Every structure is written in structure tokens, then in C-alpha cells.
Structure 1
Amino acid sequence: MQHDQQHKELHLQSSDILTDIVIGMSDGLTVPFALAAGLSGAVSSTHLIVIAGLAEIAAGSIAMGLGGYLAGKTEIDHYNSELKREHDEVETVPHKEKAEVKEFFANLGLSEDVQEQAVEEMTKDKEKWVDFMMKYELGLDKPDPKRARNSAFNIGLSYVAGGIVPLLPYFFIDTPLQALKISAVITLICLFAFGFFKSKITGVNPWGGALRVTVIGAIAAGCAFGIARLIQS
């Protein structure tokens, strides 16, 4: 029992909702942070930075959410299109489809007799036959019909949650550069923690992943700040 639990843990894969959170949170932490940093080098009022930051978070969350919706919708449409094609092929060229099923079992190392029996059993039910072809020939699992809507919500909300973090100091501090210092500390810590978590669930070295995410966020903010200063001068 203990061995089975360890085996499952080693092969743990991120769910759809975790994938959405990673996508939304990654951009949510980085883009508003870079925007706030850039504006901190160009304006003298944190009020303007807060307004611009909130506007960016609203626009960014909508854009990211729409992207997630379209990606989910495309996945569903692609699956339905391939499903229809497989149904048509089972009806029009069953011999070809049976040969593909047999080839799959042959690749598993089954004997000729067992292959024939497996093909016979598999192709009795056309619905199960088609499902088998979708999964093992095309590598497609049936998507959740609510996937597009849920993805849009998860990504958009994660973007908002991530975007608020670098803006928080600007709500309470009047000096942009002072607010930027605190924002940088908070955001870089969050980026490091986020990168560690993301790498952990995706099987990548968590410390290396955390460092990469943190460095990318710092470079983006630094470049934005430097460019704003350059333009201002």
C-alpha cells in the first residue's frame, strides 16, 4: 500500500486548474510589476501608478481570460472534429481502422492470435472502438465541456491576484521610488515562491525554476525602469 502511494506521488501531474493558475499568476506578477517600476522612474505621483496599474490588471485579466477561453474552445472543437472523422472512418473504411487497432496491440508484443481476439472484441462496439482510436491513435482525451469557461475564469482571477501584489505598496506610500523598493522586495519574494511551486508540480528542479522566474521578473522591471528614466531625461 505504501509503495503504491509513493508511486502515485512520483507520477503526480498538474491539473487543469493548476495549469491555469500558473499561466495567470505568472503574467500577473510580472507585467504589472514591470509597469509600476517603469512609471516609478517617470512620474512623481503614486496615484497615477495605481490608476495605470489597475487599468492594466483589468485589461490584462480580460485578455488572458479570453485567451484561455479561446484555447479551451479550440481544444473542444478539435476533439469534436477528430471524433466525427473517426466515426466516418469506422463506417467507411472499417478494415483500415481494424488494421490500426491490430498494429497497436502488435506493438504491445501480443501474439498474432491474441491480436486477432483483441481486435474482434474491441471493434464489436463502435462507440468504444472510436473512443479507443481517439485515445491511442490520436492521443486525445475527451475534454471537459466546461473547460473553456473555467479556464477563462481561473486565468483571469489568477492574473488579478498576481497583479495586485506589486501594486500594494503604492496604495500606502506617496513616494514612487520608496514604494518601488518595497514592491520589488514583496514581488521578488512572491516570484521566487511561485517559481518554486510551479517547478515543483511540473517536475523541474524547484530551486533552479524559482531562480529563473525571479530573475526574469527582476530584469523586466529593471528594463522598464531604465527605459522610463532614459525617456524622461
Structure 2
Amino acid sequence: MDHKEKHLASSAMLTDIVIGMSDGLTVPFALAAGLSGAVSSTGIIIIAGIAEIAAGSIAMGLGGYLAGRTATDHYNSELKREYEEVELVPEKEKEEVRGFFENLGLSEEVQQKAVEDIARDKKKWVDFMMKYELGLDKPDPKRATKSALNIGLSYAVGGLVPLSPYFFIDTPVEALKLSAIVTLICLFVFGYFKSRMTGVSPWAGALKVMLIGAVAASAAFGVAKIFEG
């Protein structure tokens, strides 16, 4: 059981990192590219980029927190309802438990014994219904906070990648060239591992993520140049 919980926690953290890093690499990259086509000072791009990273980290983190809270609130609401049902309509709930064991192919004698054993302990009974009737596992009470931090920090780390060349190069277009190389490599590597996690073809996934970032940055740069002209 302990091993399973660690695995789930790790999976949740990786999901958060993927969410935060995906937008963190792409959005500031597109912003920096667009500004590179419109302004002549890397200082302006750095200020705008840092402001975007700060705002994006907070927004993404808040979204993760609210998603975590929603999952917890939903679980608690269903838990309360199940306690009420085993109290008010116990026979109906027992029949649902029996139906679960019937679907497993167990004999009627074993079904009845299993139902009686589970129904002796109300907490065990409700936990059984939550997991096997509703398919809900008890969420980590700290999940919302952890998710907010994981997503927010991942966004910030990802956002600093495309912005970093602008700290060392004075010409926006020259800085963009290095930013594009570094960011597209990072997007390719990120897309590769993300695709492996989700069971998609790693190479195809890597190219897809990299192309999305490239198209977004190119579009932003092109639009900026059009309006500048």
C-alpha cells in the first residue's frame, strides 16, 4: 500500500511539472520573439518577460490549486452522501456491494459473507463504496498546495529558458536566435519525455511540441514586424 501511494504522488507531481513546463517554455518564448521584432532594447524584453513569468506562474499555480481543491471538495461531498446512504438505505447499499462481488463471479455464499463482513464496519463499508462504486480514491489533503507550487515553479523555470539569452546579448534579434536554438532543443527534449510518459510515440511527440513552440514564436515575431512596418 505504501508503495502505491508513493507512486501516485510521484505521478501527480510529474503531471504538474508537465503542465507548468509546457506553458512556461512556450508562452514567454512567443512573447520574447514578438517583442524582438518590435523593440530595439533587450532591457524592455527582460522586464516584460519577467513580468509575464511572474503573472503566468501565479495564474497557473492558482489554477492548479483550484483544481486540487475541487477534487477534494468533490470527494468530501460524495463521502458525506455515502455515509447518509448506508445510514438511511442500508439494504440498498448492501445490494450494491453484493452486485460488485457477483460481477467478480463469486458464489452467492461468498457474496453474502463478504457483504456481511464489510457492513459490520461503517467506515470500511463507505470506503469500499467510494472506491468501487464511485471509483474515487481519497485525495491528499495537501494536494492543492503541492500542485500550485509544482505548476508555478515549473512555469517559472521553463520561462527563464527562452528569456536567458537576453540577459547576455544586447541586440534583440541576435538574442532571439540563441533563444530559439536553446528553447527549441528544450521543447524537443521535454516533448520526448512527455510523450514517453503518456504512451505516445516519443519522436513524433517531441517534434510536435517543438513545432508548436516554433510556430507560436514565428507568428508573434511576424505580427510584431507587420505592425512595426
> Which bin holds the TM-score, normalised by the shorter protein?
over 0.9
CA RMSD of aligned residues (A): 1.6
Post-superposition Cα deviations, 1:94-124, rounded to whole Å, max 9, x if no partner, equal 1111111111111111122211111111111
Q: Which runs of 5+ in 1 are unaligned?
A: 1-7
- Are 2:54 and 1:55 equivalent residues in the alignment? no
- 1:44 shift after superposition: 0.8
- Are 2:31 and 1:35 equivalent residues in the alignment? yes
Residue 184 of structure 1, aligned match among 157, 177, 180: 180
Secondary structure (helix, strand or coil) at the match of 1:42 reads coil
- 1:14 shift after superposition: 5.8
More displaced 10-residue stretch of structure 1: 51-60 or 111-120: 111-120
Aligned partners of 2:193, 2:8: CA distance in 1, in Å? Answer: 14
TM-score normalised according to structure 2 size: 0.94
Aligned partners of 1:131, 1:175: CA distance in 2, in Å? Answer: 62
Aligned partners of 2:44, 2:16: CA distance in 1, in Å? Answer: 30
Amino acid at match of 2:34: G
- 1:203 shift after superposition: 2.0
Residue 95 of structure 1, aligned match among 85, 91, 98: 91
TM-score normalised according to structure 1 size: 0.93
Aligned partners of 1:123, 1:158: CA distance in 2, in Å? Answer: 45
Secondary structure (helix, strand or coil) at the match of 2:141 reads coil
Aligned partners of 2:83, 2:194: CA distance in 1, in Å? Answer: 39
Aligned partners of 1:14, 1:206: CA distance in 2, in Å? Answer: 21
- Are 2:154 and 1:158 equivalent residues in the alignment? yes
- Are 2:219 and 1:228 equivalent residues in the alignment? no
**What residue is the counterpart of 2:113 in the other structure?**
117
- Are 2:110 and 1:138 equivalent residues in the alignment? no
Aligned partners of 1:56, 1:208: CA distance in 2, in Å? Answer: 30
Aligned partners of 1:216, 1:55: CA distance in 2, in Å? Answer: 23
Secondary structure (helix, strand or coil) at the match of 2:200 reads coil
**What residue is the counterpart of 1:106 in the other structure?**
102
**What residue is the counterpart of 1:173 in the other structure?**
169
Aligned length in residues: 224
Residue 77 of structure 1, aligned match among 70, 73, 95: 73
Post-superposition Cα deviations, 1:3-43, rounded to whole Å, max 9, x if no partner, equal xxxxx9xx999611111111110000000000000101111
- Are 2:201 and 1:205 equivalent residues in the alignment? yes
Aligned partners of 1:179, 1:129: CA distance in 2, in Å? Answer: 62
Residue 123 of structure 2, aligned match among 127, 144, 157: 127
Aligned partners of 1:161, 1:12: CA distance in 2, in Å? Answer: 24
